[in-house]
Amino acid sequence: MDAELSRLLDAQGGVMTSAQALTYLTRRGLEDQLNCTALQRIWHGIYGYGEVNTALRLRGLDLAAGTSIAVCMATAAAAYGFDTERTTDLHVLNPGGRQLRSTDGLVVHRRAGAPLTSVSGRSATAPSWTAIEVARSLRRPRALATLDAALRSGTCSRDELHQALRRQSGRRGIVRARELLDLASPLAESPMESEARLVMIDGGLPPPGLQYEVVDLTGRVWRLDFAWPEYRVAAEYDGVDWHSGPEAFRRDRRRTAALQDLGWAVVAIVADDVRYRPGELVRRLEMRLERASAA
């Protein structure tokens, strides 16, 4: 690559306009650079060097707009560490006095008055505002997962989330978000645990304790995803990687035996139980709780 072009890319954070590229390259030369992946087409008229990640795509937008772009929704949530949806689209705020348009991979929002802060050197809607705004746009199970994750991230408090609810009062989905915030907990360790907990609550089960610690007969501490300690009944969400390897399998066996020695009954839960057989899951748990209560 041309040395002057490399210096330009370094100075601009790895991005350049097509006009800048054609100062140093012919059109055929630019196509050659794209074909051998030395350069990547990021946006219309914007090219980049290196891995095409969120940071590079945002720098490309900055260059195209002539100003630093603020992020919102899922992109801001990812920056704060509580994006549960793993969307690949960039969500940004339309900069004042300019006109960005949504396109493939880019969603432009207009949010007058949204509070902004800085994360990793870029403006973003404030964490609590972001969490409520994302939760408003999702189905109930995923909305609870977002609120759980926001609390767990430590970037915002429950009080701040309530303040954001009041500031977004009257907007679509706000009633659902308000109801779910009362159920949200920083103790949920994964989105599927959040979904499973909502199935239990919607099914009329007593609210379970989360990440409940049990000390076995040898003094070892085991943590349970969901627990009803007064009944010695627990539920564990098993992800696809739960038994990934012999050591994990052995640990699971030791854990099960230790809990059985203490009189605990453990109900295993998988994703299909939560999403496709919620009624059956609730009935299984009800039966365990009823048996324990009658014993």
Domain ranges of the chain: 3-65, 67-184, 199-294
Q: What is the pLDDT of residues 69-99, one digit of tens each?
A: 999 999 999 999 999 999 999 999 998 877 7
Q: Write down the pLDDT at residue 273.
A: 96
Q: What is the pLDDT of residues 173-225, one digit of tens each?
A: 999 999 999 999 999 999 999 999 999 999 999 999 999 999 999 999 999 99
- Closest-CA residue to 11 (of 175, 288, 3, 70): 3
The confidence band for 244, taking pLDDT boundaries of 50, 70 and 90, is low
Lowest mean pLDDT across 223-227, 244-248, 260-264, 287-291:
244-248
Residues 6+ apart with CB under 8 A from 64: 17, 43, 45, 46, 100
pLDDT above 90 covers what percent of the chain?
Answer: 80
Query: pTM here?
Result: 0.90
With a cut of 60, say whether residue 242 has pLDDT above it: no
Overall average pLDDT of the 218-242 stretch:
89
Structure tokens at 3: 């040395």
Lowest mean pLDDT across 103-107, 123-127, 154-158, 291-295:
291-295
Q: Are 198 and 229 within 8 A, CB to CB? A: no
Q: Are 234 and 210 within 8 A, CB to CB? A: no
Q: Give the chain's length.
A: 295
Q: Write down the pLDDT at residue 41.
A: 93
The confidence band for 10, taking pLDDT boundaries of 50, 70 and 90, is very high
Q: Write down the pLDDT at residue 1.
A: 66
Structure tokens at 159: 């009080």
Topology (CATH) of 199-294: Endonuclease; Chain A (3.40.960)
Average pLDDT, the chain: 93
Burial class (CB in 10 A: 0-12, 13-18, 19+), 204: exposed
